Structure 1
Amino acid sequence: MVDFIKKNIFIIILFTITLFIGFVTFLTFIDKSFIQLTQNNLQYLLVLNIGLLALLFGFIFFEVKKTIKNDIDKDGLSSNKKYITYFSLFTLIPSILISIFSLFLFSFALEKYFDKKVTTVVNNSYELAQSYVQEVRNKIESDIVLIAFDTNKAKNFLNANENEFKRFLKTQKLIRDVDEVHIIDQNKNLILSSSDDTSKYIPPVDDALKMVLTDDRPLKIINAFENTSSAIMRLQNFDDRFLYVVKLLGKDISRYLTESQEAINFYYTVEEKSTGIKISFAIIYIIVVTLLLFLSITIAIRFSSRFFRSINNLILASVAIGDGNLNTKVPEIKTDKDLELLNRNFNSMISKLKDQQEKLIINERHEAWGNLARKLAHEIKNPLTPIQLTIDRIKNKFSDQINSDEQDTFKDNLKIINNQIKQIEKLVNQFSDFARMPKPILQENDLISIFNDNIKLLQELDKNIEIKFNKNSEKIIFNCDQEQLGRVFFNLIKNAIESIQQKSENNKDFSKKIAIDINDYNDHINITIVDNGIGFGIFAANIKDILNPYFTTKKNGTGLGLSIVSKIVNDHNGKIEFIPIDDGAKIDILFKR
């Protein structure tokens, strides 16, 4: 997920900006934005929205195109493209249908929002609240006239007794259903009041008092913020006396009026800009749907490519195997665990097929060379006895007839012939050994012991050669033929010694070393023999030929030693590799348990 965000960070930033501008446009249409609701501002915002939306579409198009090129086209699998197309269509078509339905539903809801019945209710509710306030204001005007009339009428009675005057004001307060009745002078000083707590007295504004100084008509005073309605009137029968009456409106009535006014203003603003609101809503919806489509298509491509890339690799590998190329490997890629297991099992199967093929080829080769060796041994061995008998007769018959000065030459020639016959006999015996190679008799044997015996024996050939023997266990038990494996180790170590000796003929100033490592693991045994002799030389390029019978790098070699070694290793479910190195040769043997 983090990699996906990093890869598409620019698109995500552009989407966020575009979505923000879309919401700002929507809020501006309903006059709830920090941008002033004007025709020019709306035009600018709409143009900016369209530009950003086009830019977002462009980047998403190129990103999807690049993803398809990187994750689908390079695999070249037509089914991958087909499933991606189906997935994209199945995502796109419902999204378009939902978008159309949502826009239709929003348009329908908006039209119902401006239904005549709703408009009537909105207007009537506000007018009803206004009527209530107006009624309270008109009533206080009539109430102050009646209170002033009664007060003027009782002038003589009220001036005589202050307590009676207060009781009169309290009575008027109850009769006229007002909250406060005050008698003040022209300086707004409180003279008498219907309230016992005069500390809460709030004098009228100066302008109101000035307007009634020379006018006997009542004056309404409205303080909407304090939820009060009041009136002031000059008392004609009293000098410098004014009647000040206060009526408290219903709790929170002014707030309700303000909110109602704002709601009505918002309602008609929305009604006036309904087309623009629909457009801005459509833009916001398209922006969100666009990103969701991009996310779904990108995720589809990513998961599809993970799946089909593995399938494609398996198809290509199977085609290569069908053509006989067992060196093919399915690439190890990060995908689902089941597919990773399938890839590993497929590669394991290829490796086993290759091993079996190599063993079959080796067995067929050894069988063919064995038949040839058997025939050659038979054909060569038959004339050797008559030749040897004939030489003996020649020696007995003609040795006395040859001059004394030619006797030495005659004997040397016969000796050369005998030596060559012995060489041919040796070769015939090796042919016979190779042809009669028996099947291994498997028993539990200690490989460490077999190695130690051969190292001790071969060390006598050249004590100047340092042979290091490293092992990870004191005993390594393996089910094998002791005699045959002893022959393998003997031949390989002897070849290493001879390679070092051949090198020392031209270069005596070097440290002669042979390193033997044997390691026992749970499922296999690994043996490595490294020497710093002449190596494989010109044969390094075609190192596999070294295992062919009668192929040799030695002057007097028959070329059968390594072939026999290879056959014995193969018969023991093993594998041998000859690896050229910079200074010498390396032999790696792997025995599977």
Structure 2
Amino acid sequence: MIDFLKKNIFIIILSSITLFIGFLTFLTFIDRSFIQLNQDNLQYLLILNIFLLVLLFTFIFFEIQKSIKNDIDRDGIKSNKKYITYFSLFTLIPSILISIFSLFLFSFALEKYFDKKVSTVVNNSYELAKSYVTEVRNKIEADIVLIAFDTNKSGKFLNNNDRDYLRFLKTQKLIRDVDEIHIIDDNKNLLFSSLENKTNYNPPLDEALDLVLDDDRPLKIINAPQNISAAIMRLQEFDNRFLYVVKYLDKDISKYLSESQEAINFYYTVEEKSTGIKISFAIIYIVIVTLLLFLSITIAIRFSSRFFRSINNLILASSAIGDGNLDTKVPEIKTDKDLEVLNKNFNSMISRLKNQQEKLIINEKHEAWESLARKLAHEIKNPLTPLQLTIDRIKDKYANQISSSDQNNFKENLKIINNQIKQIENLVNEFSDFARMPKPVLKDNNLIEILKENIDLLSEIDKSIKIDFLKNNEKIIFNCDREQIARVFFNLIKNSIESIQEKSKKNIEFIKKIKIEILYNNDHIKFILVDNGLGFDKIKDDIKKILNPYFTTKKNGTGLGLSIVNKIINDHNGKLDFFSVSDGAKTEIIFNLNGNRNSYSR
């Protein structure tokens, strides 16, 4: 999410500015903005809105185009563009239709808002509140005339007595249904009042008093902030006296009147600028819809690319496999869960296919070498017995006929021939063993026990060699052929001992050591053998050659020992690897336990 915001920060800022200007234009049209409502300002705002919209659309278009191009270039699959286009159209077409319908609906609703019936109701509500105020003002105007008449008539009986005036004014207040009656002078000083507490007296405005100084007619006063309707009138029978009558307006009616006036002004302002409001709303709506479309299309592109990236990887991997490259792997990228499982299963399938191919190649090689070894053993072994018998016959027949001086040479030569025949016989026997390699008889066996037996046996060859045996379990049960696995361990450990002994001839003082480790995991058993012998420096560029039959680095080796070991490991669903390490060699066997249900450890 943060990456998306950083990548599209300019579009986000531009969209915010466009929304702000659009909203400002809307407020200006309804005369609620700090910008003065006039033709020039509206024209500038509309031009600015159009410019920002075009700029926003341009940047969004290029950003979407760049996203599509980047995804296609990265994934290398043209069909992705087609599906991205489909996703975009599926998002774009309904949004455009909804936008058109929404704008039409808003325009229709705005027109209905200014319907004649609505305007009639608005006007009537205001006129109703206004008529109430007018009625109160007219009534107080009539009442003040009557009160003034009674006051003028009763003046001679009141004798400027406060108590008499208070009783008189209170009576008039009850009869005329008003709230306050005051008698004041031309300086607005209170002379007499119907109020018990005269401190609550609020004098009239100066302008109102000035208007009635030389006029006998009453003056109506309305004070909206104080919610009162009042009237003031000069008393003709008195010098410098004025009658001031106050009637309290209903607070709600007064508030409704003020609000109605504001609402009517706003209503007709909006009606007058309805076209501009529609344009402003359309701009705001288009910006919001455009942003949502951009977000939707971006998500569609990301989803499409994420999906087709995995499909593309599978296509490329399958093409490479079709060309014979079994080292190909599908990148296990983060994607849909089902696709992740598909990628994982595909890689697992390729690994198994590669292992099976390697096993097949090894088996074919072994079959070819076994056939060759069988023929060689047969062809070589047949003449060996007659040769041996002939030598014995020559020895018996000519031993006494040779002079004593040549006797030693004669016997020595016969001995050399005899030894060579025995070496050939040993070689033939190894050929026979290699050719007659039996199929493994699988039974549950403890690998720890087999290893210990071979270590104990071989440690007697050279007690100066330190052999460390590490294990993570006391017992590792493996379904295998005991004799064949024992032969594997024996052969590998013996090779390490011989390599160390050969190295010690050049450097007597170095510490001889072998490290053997066997580890059990849920899906495999790993055997690791590390020695500080000669290593594989001579063949480090192609270590796997030593697994080929008849390939050997030993002076008197046949090159069949490791081939037999590799065949046994292969038959036990395992893999043999050699590594050149500093100051020695490392041998590693991994027995795959998939399908070997009888294997376990304790």
TM above 0.5 = yes
Q: CA deviation at 1:145?
A: 2.8
Residue 37 of structure 1 aligns to a residue whose secondary structure is: coil
Residue 74 of structure 1 aligns to a residue whose secondary structure is: helix
Tell me the distance in 1 between the aligned counterparts of 2:474 and 2:124: 105
Q: Does 1:510 align with 2:513?
A: no
1:455-502 Cα offsets, whole Å, 9 max, x none, are 222223222222111111222222222222221111111111121222
Structure 1 residues 554 and 214, CA, compared in 2 at 3 Å: closer, same or farther? same
Q: Which residue matches 1:521? A: 521
Q: Which residue matches 1:233? A: 233
- For 1:312, give the aligned amino acid: N
Q: Which residue matches 1:292? A: 292
Structure 1 residues 258 and 380, CA, compared in 2 at 3 Å: closer, same or farther? same
- For 2:433, give the aligned amino acid: D
Structure 1 residues 211 and 502, CA, compared in 2 at 3 Å: closer, same or farther? same
After superposition, residues 11-90 of structure 1 pair within 5 angstroms as: 11-90=11-90
Q: CA deviation at 1:562?
A: 0.4
Structure 1 residues 6 and 184, CA, compared in 2 at 3 Å: closer, same or farther? same
Structure 1 residues 41 and 410, CA, compared in 2 at 3 Å: closer, same or farther? farther
% identical equivalent positions: 77
Point out the more displaced range, 579-588 or 373-382.
Answer: 579-588
Q: Which residue matches 2:413? A: 413
Structure 1 residues 581 and 54, CA, compared in 2 at 3 Å: closer, same or farther? farther
Structure 1 residues 232 and 577, CA, compared in 2 at 3 Å: closer, same or farther? same
Point out the more displaced range, 377-386 or 304-313.
Answer: 304-313
Q: CA deviation at 1:408?
A: 4.1
Residue 222 of structure 1 aligns to a residue whose secondary structure is: strand
Structure 1 residues 418 and 249, CA, compared in 2 at 3 Å: closer, same or farther? same
Q: Which residue matches 1:559? A: 559
Q: CA deviation at 1:503?
A: 2.3
After superposition, residues 300-339 of structure 1 pair within 5 angstroms as: 300-339=300-339
Structure 1 residues 256 and 446, CA, compared in 2 at 3 Å: closer, same or farther? closer
Tell me the distance in 1 between the aligned counterparts of 2:210 and 2:275: 53
Structure 1 residues 7 and 130, CA, compared in 2 at 3 Å: closer, same or farther? same
Q: Which residue matches 1:102? A: 102
Structure 1 residues 270 and 207, CA, compared in 2 at 3 Å: closer, same or farther? closer
Aligned residues of 2:80 and 2:304 also touching (Cα < 8 A): yes
Residue 552 of structure 2 aligns to a residue whose secondary structure is: coil
Aligned residues of 2:173 and 2:194 also touching (Cα < 8 A): yes
Q: CA deviation at 1:397?
A: 4.2
Residue 99 of structure 1 aligns to a residue whose secondary structure is: helix
User: Gaps spanning 5+ residues in structure 2: where?
Assistant: 597-602
Tell me the distance in 1 between the aligned counterparts of 2:170 and 2:458: 138
Residue 94 of structure 2 aligns to a residue whose secondary structure is: helix
Q: Which residue matches 2:436? A: 436
Residue 445 of structure 1 aligns to a residue whose secondary structure is: strand
- For 1:325, give the aligned amino acid: N
Q: CA deviation at 1:437?
A: 1.4
User: Gaps spanning 5+ residues in structure 1: where?
Assistant: none
Tell me the distance in 2 between the aligned counterparts of 1:443 and 1:58: 75
Q: CA deviation at 1:451?
A: 1.6
Structure 1 residues 114 and 494, CA, compared in 2 at 3 Å: closer, same or farther? same
Tell me the distance in 2 between the aligned counterparts of 1:251 and 1:447: 102
Q: CA deviation at 1:14?
A: 3.7
Point out the more displaced range, 285-294 or 247-256.
Answer: 247-256
Residue 541 of structure 1 aligns to a residue whose secondary structure is: helix
Q: CA deviation at 1:401?
A: 4.8
- For 2:483, give the aligned amino acid: E
- For 2:376, give the aligned amino acid: L
Q: CA deviation at 1:566?
A: 0.9
Tell me the distance in 2 between the aligned counterparts of 1:165 and 1:74: 102
Aligned residues of 2:547 and 2:562 also touching (Cα < 8 A): yes
Q: CA deviation at 1:550?
A: 0.7
Q: Does 1:257 align with 2:264?
A: no
Aligned residues of 1:326 and 1:350 also touching (Cα < 8 A): yes
Q: CA deviation at 1:2?
A: 5.2
Tell me the distance in 2 between the aligned counterparts of 1:270 and 1:511: 101
- For 1:309, give the aligned amino acid: R
Q: Which residue matches 1:471? A: 471
Q: Does 1:205 align with 2:218?
A: no
Tell me the distance in 2 between the aligned counterparts of 1:452 and 1:542: 32
Q: Which residue matches 2:184? A: 184
Q: Which residue matches 1:539? A: 539
Tell me the distance in 2 between the aligned counterparts of 1:79 and 1:284: 36
After superposition, residues 115-130 of structure 1 pair within 5 angstroms as: 115-130=115-130
Q: Does 1:279 align with 2:292?
A: no
Structure 1 residues 180 and 532, CA, compared in 2 at 3 Å: closer, same or farther? same
Aligned residues of 2:531 and 2:584 also touching (Cα < 8 A): yes
Residue 226 of structure 1 aligns to a residue whose secondary structure is: coil
Q: CA deviation at 1:299?
A: 1.6
Q: CA RMSD in A?
A: 2.6
Residue 188 of structure 2 aligns to a residue whose secondary structure is: coil
Point out the more displaced range, 421-430 or 10-19.
Answer: 10-19
Tell me the distance in 2 between the aligned counterparts of 1:544 and 1:161: 136
Structure 1 residues 544 and 145, CA, compared in 2 at 3 Å: closer, same or farther? same
Tell me the distance in 2 between the aligned counterparts of 1:192 and 1:572: 126
Aligned residues of 2:165 and 2:193 also touching (Cα < 8 A): no
Q: Which residue matches 2:146? A: 146
Q: Does 1:375 align with 2:359?
A: no
Residue 159 of structure 2 aligns to a residue whose secondary structure is: helix
Tell me the distance in 2 between the aligned counterparts of 1:161 and 1:377: 159
Tell me the distance in 1 between the aligned counterparts of 2:373 and 2:64: 68
Tell me the distance in 2 between the aligned counterparts of 1:378 and 1:197: 145
Aligned residues of 2:374 and 2:431 also touching (Cα < 8 A): yes
Q: Which residue matches 2:392? A: 392
- For 1:234, give the aligned amino acid: R
1:174-201 Cα offsets, whole Å, 9 max, x none, are 4444332222233433333334444432
Aligned residues of 2:71 and 2:305 also touching (Cα < 8 A): yes
Tell me the distance in 1 between the aligned counterparts of 2:351 and 2:361: 15
Tell me the distance in 2 between the aligned counterparts of 1:589 and 1:16: 65
Q: CA deviation at 1:348?
A: 1.8
Structure 1 residues 385 and 224, CA, compared in 2 at 3 Å: closer, same or farther? same
**Segments of 4+ in structure 1 off by > 6 A?**
none
Tell me the distance in 2 between the aligned counterparts of 1:530 and 1:160: 132
Residue 553 of structure 1 aligns to a residue whose secondary structure is: coil
Aligned residues of 1:503 and 1:534 also touching (Cα < 8 A): yes
Tell me the distance in 1 between the aligned counterparts of 2:267 and 2:258: 14
Tell me the distance in 1 between the aligned counterparts of 2:368 and 2:346: 32
Q: CA deviation at 1:29?
A: 1.7
| Count of aligned pairs between the two proteins | 593
Tell me the distance in 2 between the aligned counterparts of 1:75 and 1:171: 99
- For 1:380, give the aligned amino acid: I
Residue 225 of structure 1 aligns to a residue whose secondary structure is: coil
Tell me the distance in 2 between the aligned counterparts of 1:178 and 1:428: 142
Tell me the distance in 1 between the aligned counterparts of 2:313 and 2:109: 54
Aligned residues of 2:465 and 2:512 also touching (Cα < 8 A): yes
Q: CA deviation at 1:449?
A: 2.2
- For 2:564, give the aligned amino acid: I
Tell me the distance in 2 between the aligned counterparts of 1:581 and 1:58: 61
Q: CA deviation at 1:162?
A: 6.1
Tell me the distance in 2 between the aligned counterparts of 1:51 and 1:487: 86
Q: CA deviation at 1:370?
A: 1.1
1:73-95 Cα offsets, whole Å, 9 max, x none, are 43234443333222211110111
Aligned residues of 1:485 and 1:568 also touching (Cα < 8 A): yes
- For 1:236, give the aligned amino acid: Q
Tell me the distance in 2 between the aligned counterparts of 1:131 and 1:471: 106
